Amino acid sequence: METAMDTAHPSFSVGLTGGIGCGKTTVADMFGALGATIVDTDQIAHALTAPQGAAMPALLAEFGADFATPEGALDRARMRQLVFTDPGARARLEAILHPRIREATTAAAAIASGPYVIFVVPLLIESGTWARRVARVLAIDCPEEMQVARVMARNGLSEEQVRAIMAAQVTRAQRLAAADDVVVNDDGLDALRPQVERLHAFYLDEARRMAASTIPGL
């Protein structure tokens, strides 16, 4: 059975996930400010699909030039519309992006300088493989109505569009059931900080324990 140390990074690692609008980036930034190394798969995906991005030649060959913006980036809105209506298109997109994202995350973790690594993976539970690559799964949680309101305000999407995105993700109950740890993000930054600080202290202890277990004679 593969473990986090087999497939990710030789030190302690956490997979941070959550539904759209739950505040994954906000929480990850807090962990980063405390010293954790943050590897964000969304940021990697954006870099891969930016103008001159490493995935763009394969994406254009697969989906056609109509899926590029005038600047040469992936037309994310058009691609989102396609994959929500065509499961086959989603599989083709993932076949191009996922191996490249995995390679980039592994490379980023290999040079991590923090005491532990947090991989931010929006679809960690859905992927079926990420949970085996990390020591613990951390879910960021909030009520679904709050998710909808946040994304509508942030992205300018309609309620119907937001709920369609949420429907393509695992349910809130499934995500919580799969999590080892949960941060509740329903009451502002002041309520978030003590939760993050508590988990940071726990993760530091786990990282030290894991490091000690790899030293011969200890």
Q: What is the pLDDT of residues 80-116, one digit of tens each?
A: 889 888 989 999 999 999 999 999 999 999 999 999 9
What per-residue string of b and e applies to 144-157 under the rule 16 or more CB within 10 Å gives b?
eeebbebbeeeeeb
Q: What is the pLDDT of residue 215?
A: 57
- CA angle, 141 then 31 then 198, to 5°: 70
> What's phi and psi for 142, nearest 5 deg?
-160, 165
Residue 9 pLDDT:
42
pLDDT band of 214, cuts 50, 70, 90? low
3 has pLDDT over 80:
no
Q: What is the pLDDT of residue 126?
A: 87
Mean pLDDT confidence for 8-35: 90
What is the H or E stretch that residue 13 is in?
strand 13-18
pLDDT bin (cut points 50, 70, 90) of residue 4 is very low
Whether residue 61 is predicted with pLDDT greater than 60 in this model: the reply is yes
What is the predicted pLDDT for the residue at 85? 84
Q: Which of 215, 218, 211 is nearest to 12 (CA)?
A: 211
**Whether residue 159 has pLDDT greater than 60:** yes
pTM here is 0.87
| pLDDT tens string 113-155 | 999 999 999 989 988 788 888 999 999 999 999 999 999 999 8
Token digits for 198? Answer: 């508590």
Would the pLDDT of 217 be above 90?
A: no
- Give CA–CA dist 2/162, Å, rounded: 35
| Phi and psi based region of residue 52 (left: phi greater than 0; alpha: psi -120 to 50; beta: remaining) | left
